[in-house]
Amino acid sequence: MCANFKKSLYGLKQAPRAWFEKLFQALQDLGFHQSSSDASLFVLNGPQLVIVLVYVDDILVTGPNSHLCHQFIQQLSNRFPVKDLGPLSYFMGLEVQRSSKGIFIHQTKYLLDLLQRTNMQGAKPCCILLGSHKQDHIGYLLPNPTEYRSIVGGLQYLTWTRLDLAFAVNQLCQFMHSPREQHFQAAKRVLRFLKGSVSQGLWFTKGHVDLSAYSDVDWAGSTFDRRSTSGYCVFLGPNLISWNAKKQSTVARSSTEAEYRSLAYTAAELTWVCKILRDLHCPLPKLPTLWCDNISAIFLASNPVWHVEIDYHYIRELVLANLLKVQFVCSADQLADFPTKSLSKNQFQYLCSKLPIRINSDSSSRLRGCIKEDNKSSISVDVK
């Protein structure tokens, strides 16, 4: 990247906005339209699909026809100084490894750098994230919370590919303003857990495109304010594509109310994913399915007999409009337990076996992408 362009793009507050407007106009001229659900996503209007994902001056280009992808890059290079980095192998800390069986995405390099930065590369691994003790506001305040905040910030980025970290990181983030010694020890315990699973990541394979999600809640799980923690995980076929852990904004007076709120959060995420799939010209063969382990919340989703805040009746409207179906799953097979509560070792390992989580067998070598045999490609572009 030339020095003048770098200074203009990263040195001025309004420069990224001005750059995006210029790039947006160029993509529109080339026939792309912007997704209404994600401002960074652009799709080519035409018989052949070309997808462009923008992050400042880094661009991902993908589609079923590699020739069209390279043709677009050539057209873009006529307007901007562009460097084609080839098939996607590393992007924003994410490592991508391709094979004939599927795609493996992980953050091994980023994790190793985090362990080295925190002087935990020689730590003894552990198999449980937070243990049985809940985090609270007792103990001595840290005299300098900078290191704690740096560690937790690094862990937040790792949750991009690690569903198993969602609940632990959510708990640690609640003490960023006034961390205590026990919170710092809990953060180091998470690093020890990661030390034993450095090469773990997500495995994506071809298969059906049925959309489903699991929703769960830890009712009044916080001993400090008795608020509940909601969590969900979304699957497209066998592939895990989205997950979240979030403390609810108000106290729920019953487990049914807490579960119903969590269903509403998950339904909103499913609606967003459906819109993205429509933008990508990927129709769903059947209605999305939302799995919940609370029978009362399922009953409330389709029967307007109880009074909860109006905002949370969003889920009921989707069910009545036949846009979503809610079904029961037993608590033992509730995959959304990951982002909502601390699990025992046996339950943690059991649920992990049901997720598309794998270990990279070639973590010692540098990963390089390759164009798939079916002529589909993902190409990384750096605009200079």
The pLDDT-based confidence of 373 (bands split at 50, 70, 90) is very low
The proportion of the chain whose per-residue pLDDT surpasses 70, expressed as a percent, equals: 86
Amino acid at 337: D
Strands 229-236 and 239-247: antiparallel
Angstrom distance (rounded) from CA 320 to CA 326: 11
Contacts of 222 (CB under 8 A, 6+ apart): 134, 228, 229, 247
- pLDDT for 240: 94
Other beta carbons less than 10 A from residue 189's beta carbon: 17
For residues 162 and 24, give the distance between their C-alpha atoms in angstroms, rounded to a whole number.
Answer: 32
User: Residues 148, 153, 156, 158: is their CA dihedral positive or negative?
Assistant: negative
Q: Give the mean model confidence (pLDDT) for residues 303-308.
A: 57
How far apart are alpha carbons 324 and 270 in whole angstroms?
9
In terms of Cα–Cα distance, which of 70, 22, 23, 78 is closest to 48? Answer: 70
Quote the pLDDT of residue 275: 94
**Predicted local confidence at residue 368, as pLDDT:** 38
Domain ranges across the chain? 3-88+369-383, 105-199, 207-337
180-216 pLDDT, tens digit per residue, is 999 999 999 999 999 988 889 999 998 888 999 999 9
pLDDT at residue 360, rounded to an integer: 65
**For the structural domain made of 207-337, what CATH number should be given?**
3.30.420.10
* Tokens found for residue 272: 């967003």
Q: What is the pLDDT of residue 314?
A: 79
pLDDT digits (tens, 9 = 90+) for 148-171: 999 999 999 999 999 989 999 999
Q: Give me the pLDDT at residue 131, please.
A: 59
pLDDT in tens, 13-63: 778 788 889 999 999 999 999 998 999 999 997 778 999 999 888 899 998
- The closest alpha carbon to 19, from 53, 52, 57, 51, belongs to 57
The 10 Å CB-count burial string (b at 16+, else e) for 52-66 is: bbbeebebbbbbeeb
